[in-house]
Chains A and B, each alone.
Chain A
Amino acid sequence: MAKKKQFAGKKTKLAELPLTRVLEQKAEDEAAWGELQTSGGASHRQLFLSLERAPEVRPGLLTAAYQQIIQELTVLQADLEPERASSSASAPVLLPLPHLLQTRNLKRALLQARASLQDLHRLLSD
């Protein structure tokens, strides 16, 4: 077997370091942001994410978190406007660029967002 082929899948300790993953995600975010800028899709430092687009922008923890928020919003929208729910399941939602959020604050932010949505839902349902 060619020497180079034997390297496939061989990962170093460095590749598994949390810092490496953070740096990789940062690079991916910047690439996604660059793509949006060149396509003229965004005029300020915000990124259009929808439930459909999130996985294509970047897999991983932050995207999963955004998906969760968008899902909550979509469910809420469906409850409030059942007639629109079937036609526009997930309108684009403006969200900050993922790397602007600090990972350590993410869980807390998610829990707060979820609690706020539930409160809102409850209020509107009353």
Chain B
Amino acid sequence: MSFIVAILNQKGGTGKTTTTINLSAALAFQGHRTLMVDLDPQGHTTIGIGVEPASFRESMAEVFTVPKKNLNDVVLPTYIPNLFVAPATIHLAQAAEQVYARVFREAILAQALKGVDFDFVVIDCPPSLGVLTTNSLYACDFIIIPCQISRYSLDGLADLLTTIETVKSLGLEELFQGDHFRILLTMFDKRNRVTNEYILEQLKPYQDKTFATPVMKNEALNQAQIVQKSIFDFDPKSSGAQDYYQIAAEFLEIWQKRNNLPEKRPNLQNCL
């Protein structure tokens, strides 16, 4: 059975797509069959991994429309072995509009994912708390929340945690006692000392729910988007590659614990 991870934050520009691509690439390099589900109508995960919109006809929009397409039929290989993508185009926005009239509309993705066979499914969510995001929340086993060091990000995080609690039908105790989510600090800039201090103080209660490795601000991560490659292929020596390497290792440790697998530090050297 696949372990389904939603990369989620209703705020835009927090690093969801960058995290989806680079975490998925790291997992694939480790030998895990990994599927990225692009649930953002902007289709940036699709483009970011080198799949051009002109190269396919069916996408996640067809999985959400009636008659629905089998998710397996829209999956495409990427240039990285073991890494696949269920692509998105702007048509997904229209499909999501139509979904509002359907019963069990929040379970469409969960149903579609029952038919796929991958080690990991990583969902790149749109920057909203709409029906596509609730579908991801409903389907996923684990949530990663990329969060910038900013006041507005923290306010957004509060709304998001409330939504997670509601959609996953979790009580407060279950939400913090169970291993349901991790916050991932992104675009971290050590020079912004005063802001960092304030935000980290606010996040202190969530220390155990935050990845130990923040993603430092790194130009190579932006440049990798331009060349449509993972950071491990574009610039394996960059701080962005090192950070995502560590984050993938932390994530695999969480996954091992969740599945009662023997704990071992994953060897991700083949990413670098």
Q: Which residues of A contact B (CB under 8 A)?
A: 3-4, 7, 12-20, 22-24, 26-27, 102-104
Contacts and interface: CB of A to CB of B under 8 A. Distances in A.
The 5 lowest CB-CB distance pairs between A and B, nearest first, are: A23-B205, A13-B158, A12-B154, A13-B155, A14-B158
At the interface, is chain A mostly helix, strand, loop or mixed? Answer: helix
Which of A14, A16, A23 counts the most B-chain CB atoms under 10 A from its CB? A14
Nearest to B199: A12
B158 A12 contact: yes
A17 B202 contact: no
Contacts of B206: 20, 23
A85 B159 CA distance: 51
A44 B161 CA distance: 34
Contact of A14 (B155, B165, B171, B197): B155
Which of A3, A15, A16 counts the most B-chain CB atoms under 10 A from its CB? A15
Nearest to A15: B202
A12 B173 contact: no
A27 B205 contact: yes
Nearest to B197: A4
A12 B165 contact: no
B198 A18 contact: no
B205 A13 contact: no
A105 to B, nearest CB: 10
Nearest to A26: B176
Given A4-B194, A23-B206, A26-B176, A104 B151 contact: no
A17 B205 CA distance: 11
B171 A104 contact: yes
B224 interface: no
B162 interface: yes
A18 B172 contact: yes
B157 interface: yes
A102 B173 contact: yes
A15 B154 CA distance: 9
A57 B151 CA distance: 31
A9 B171 CA distance: 29
A17 B194 contact: no
28 contacts: A4-B194, A4-B197, A4-B198, A7-B194, A12-B151, A12-B154, A12-B155, A12-B202, A13-B154, A14-B154, A14-B157, A14-B202, A15-B202, A16-B158, A17-B162, A19-B161, A19-B172, A19-B175, A20-B158, A23-B176, A23-B205, A23-B206, A24-B205, A26-B176, A27-B205, A102-B171, A103-B172, A104-B173
Interface in B140-190: 151, 154-155, 157-159, 161-162, 165, 171-173, 175-176
Contacts of A104: 171, 173
Contacts of B158: 12-14, 16-17, 20
